[in-house]
Each structure stands twice: as C-alpha cells, then as structure tokens.
C-alpha cells in the first residue's frame, strides 16, 4: 500500500481503512506514551497485541478501555536479562507467531548507573535488553514479518563505542550514552535485516520525532524548553519555521507505518522518520529537526561488530538455526 504522509500524520491516519484482523504484534513498553498509543491503534484495527511492561499494574491502568480480548500483557524488565529471558521463554512456550515486533520501550538521558547485569543503564536497557529478547523469539516471526526498533534522531549525539560500551574509560554524559544506545538500535536493525531478510523477516529502525512523554523525566527542569528553543533558533537560521513537538498519536505513527503498511523491501535495513525512509546524511552540522541518519548508524560492518560485542556481553550466541 503506497500512501503519502507528513511529519504530523497520526496513527489513525496511517491505518485509515486498514484491517489488521488476524495479525499479531508484540509491543514493548505499553505502560505509557507511544507504547500505549501503538497498542491502542493496532487493536482498534483488529490486531491481537501482546504488550510488555516492567510495571504491569501501571500498564493495565494505561490500557484501560482497550479490548481485553485482543490485548494481553507480559512482564518484562529490559534492564534485567533474567526477566528478558523469562519473558522470551514464556512467549516461546506459547508458540504463537508474530507479524511484527515493535521495540518501543526505553530510557533517555539517565544519570550514570548500571542495569542489574552491570551494563551502563541506557545501552543495557535500550539495546542489550531488546537484543536478547528479539534473538530469543526470532523463531516466532512469520515469513513476511518485521522487527521495528524505535530509535531516535538522538543517535546523532554519538556512535557506539565498541571498546568502551559501559563508560569505564570514557567520561559519562547522559546524552552521549543515549546517543550510543540509539545508534545501537539502528545497527541492530540493519544487522537483523542482513541476517534474516532471506527468510522473509525484515527489520528497520525509526525515529518517532520529538514528543513530550515520560521519556523526558530525567531531564533537569527547563532543559526541554531550552533544547526546543535552540532547535527553533537553528531552524530560523536556515529559513524554516519554528520546530514543534509532535503529539503522541503523531509520534507513534512512524513505527505503526513501518510495522504494518510500509513496503518491506523499501524499509528493510533502513532508518525511517515521518512515515518515510530517511536519507543518509554525512557528518557535519545537522539540525535534529531535519530528516536524516548518520552514516555510522547504517554501517553494516559496524553492525556486525556490535552484534559480536553484544553476544559477548550477554553471554549468548545467536545463529540462524
């Protein structure tokens, strides 16, 4: 289905006239924000959705009103690999296949800390938790299915550091760590696509856009407003209108688009935003308001190296058997 959308298209606009009856989706992080909206719109169009959350009671409250016949929950703490493995084991035991995974859950700009397994918080949660989950349930993915990693334009803050992923030798800054984790999300998607496209499983990464959700809870008071003012200043210097945040339905639209109606051959191994595939934009000044993905984030050689490092860190090897 080929339709045009804008940066401010909503999930309902993306799925207008689309039936997802008979489809099944896994969405991580359904206790707030984009995850809740993603689950809502998928169920509204007839899909079955398995949502994951660290806090199931919070998720149940957030999902109140969504048809319980089509919406089920699984406990998952991405910052605890024991929890990730237990969730994957439960899903494998049920043996029901998926049409797409939308890896939406994550944290942003946290103070320096570690996951339960000793990994830097953002890299461990945003990347390694999803890395283990997806690889452990990959056999549940149908031919023609998709894995959509929710990344961010924040990948522009930093490339992954394959020598020091836990900031053991590098000075920690919250947004550098966030940038590393979001670059890792993109690299994981293109590595997945490279490994599994021959089996009919495509993977892509997406940027939802700037949205005020719980993700900003670790920012100091006033920091978000200052960031938006700076971006708008950059936009004005380039002759563009002021930057404005998306609503949650607008922010969730690109992941929903990529997981449902986008051409898999076009999005596979790519990065998208504003319901479209993004250009690769070389290093140098680049406003976060402008579309584009950094070359290092779509470098297949670096993706393979990150895969090998991630396997070493989590103590598991993932093959094609």
Q: What is the pLDDT along the chain (321 residues), one digit of tens a residue?
A: 457 899 999 999 999 999 999 999 999 999 999 999 999 999 999 999 999 999 999 999 999 999 999 999 999 999 999 999 999 999 999 999 999 999 999 999 899 999 999 999 999 999 999 999 999 999 999 999 999 999 999 999 999 999 999 999 999 999 999 999 999 999 999 999 999 999 999 999 999 988 865 555 666 767 666 676 677 677 666 677 777 789 999 999 999 999 999 999 999 999 999 999 999 998 655 566 778 999 999 999 999 999 999 999 999 999 865
* Dihedral angle over CA of 146, 319, 139, 206, nearest 10: -20
CA distance 310 to 313: 5
Tell me what pLDDT residue 276 has.
Answer: 96
Tell me what pLDDT residue 50 has.
Answer: 98
R_g (Cα) of the chain, nearest Å? 18
In-domain check, residue 159: yes
In this structure, what DSSP letter does residue 270 have? -
Cβ burial, residue 203 (10 Å; 0-12/13-18/19+): buried
In sequence order, the 6+-apart residues with CB closer than 8 A to the CB of 106 are 29, 78, 122, 125, 126, 150, 181, 215
In-domain check, residue 267: yes
What is the sign of the dihedral through the CA atoms of 250, 269, 26 and 75? negative
123-150 residues labelled b (16+ CB within 10 A) or e (exposed): bbbbbbbbbbbbbbbbebbeeebbbbbb
Tell me what pLDDT residue 321 has.
Answer: 58
Smallest CA-to-CA distance from 81 within 321, 320, 315, 318 is with 315
Tell me what pLDDT residue 60 has.
Answer: 97
> How many structural domains is the chain composed of?
1
Tell me what pLDDT residue 1 has.
Answer: 46
How far apart, in Å, are the Cα atoms of 118 and each of 16, 110, 217?
44, 15, 23
In-domain check, residue 273: yes
Tell me what pLDDT residue 319 has.
Answer: 80
In-domain check, residue 138: yes
Distance between terminal CA atoms of the chain?
A: 32
Smallest CA-to-CA distance from 3 within 17, 21, 24, 22 is with 17
In-domain check, residue 77: yes
Q: Which CATH number goes with the domain that contains 105? A: 3.40.50.720
CA distance 51 to 69: 13
Tell me what pLDDT residue 290 has.
Answer: 75
Residues labelled as active-site residues: 151, 178, 182
Helix, strand or coil, per DSSP, at residue 183:
helix
Tell me what pLDDT residue 287 has.
Answer: 61
pTM of the model as a whole:
0.93
> Could you tell me the residue range of the domain that residue 192 belongs to?
11-210+247-312
Helix H or strand E encompassing 272: strand 271-273
CA distance 293 to 149: 14
In-domain check, residue 220: no
In-domain check, residue 26: yes
In-domain check, residue 318: no
Q: Are strands 202-207 and 271-273 parallel, antiparallel or unpaired?
A: parallel
């Amino acid at each position: 289905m080929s339709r045009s959308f804008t940066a401010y298209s909503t999930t309902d606009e993306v799925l207008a006239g689309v039936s997802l009856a008979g489809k099944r989706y896994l969405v991580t992080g359904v206790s707030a924000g984009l995850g809740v909206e993603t689950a809502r719109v998928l169920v509204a169009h007839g899909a079955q959705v398995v949502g994951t959350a660290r806090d199931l009671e919070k998720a149940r409250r957030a999902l109140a009103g969504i048809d319980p016949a089509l919406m089920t929950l699984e406990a998952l703490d991405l910052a605890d690999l024991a929890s990730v493995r237990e969730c994957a084991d439960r899903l494998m035991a049920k043996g029901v296949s998926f049409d797409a995974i939308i890896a939406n859950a994550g944290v942003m700009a946290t103070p320096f800390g570690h996951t339960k397994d000793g990994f830097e918080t953002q890299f461990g949660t945003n990347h390694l938790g999803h890395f283990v989950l997806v690889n452990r349930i990959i056999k549940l993915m149908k031919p023609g299915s998709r894995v959509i990693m929710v990344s961010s334009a924040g990948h522009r803050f930093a490339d992954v550091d394959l020598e020091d992923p836990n900031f053991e030798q590098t000075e920690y800054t919250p947004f550098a760590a966030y940038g590393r984790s979001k670059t890792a999300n993109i690299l994981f998607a293109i590595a997945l696509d490279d490994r599994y496209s021959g089996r009919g499983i495509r993977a892509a990464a997406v940027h939802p856009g700037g949205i005020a959700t719980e993700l900003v809870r670790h920012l100091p008071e006033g920091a978000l407003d200052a960031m938006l003012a700076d971006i708008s200043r950059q936009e004005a210097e380039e002759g563009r209108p002021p930057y404005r945040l998306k609503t949650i339905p607008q922010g969730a639209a690109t992941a929903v688009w990529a997981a449902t109606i986008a051409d898999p051959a076009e999005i596979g191994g790519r990065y998208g935003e504003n319901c479209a595939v993004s250009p690769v934009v070389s290093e140098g000044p680049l406003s976060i308001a402008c579309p584009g993905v950094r070359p290092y984030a779509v470098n297949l050689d670096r993706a393979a190296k990150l895969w090998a490092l991630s396997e070493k860190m989590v103590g598991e090897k993932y093959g094609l058997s």
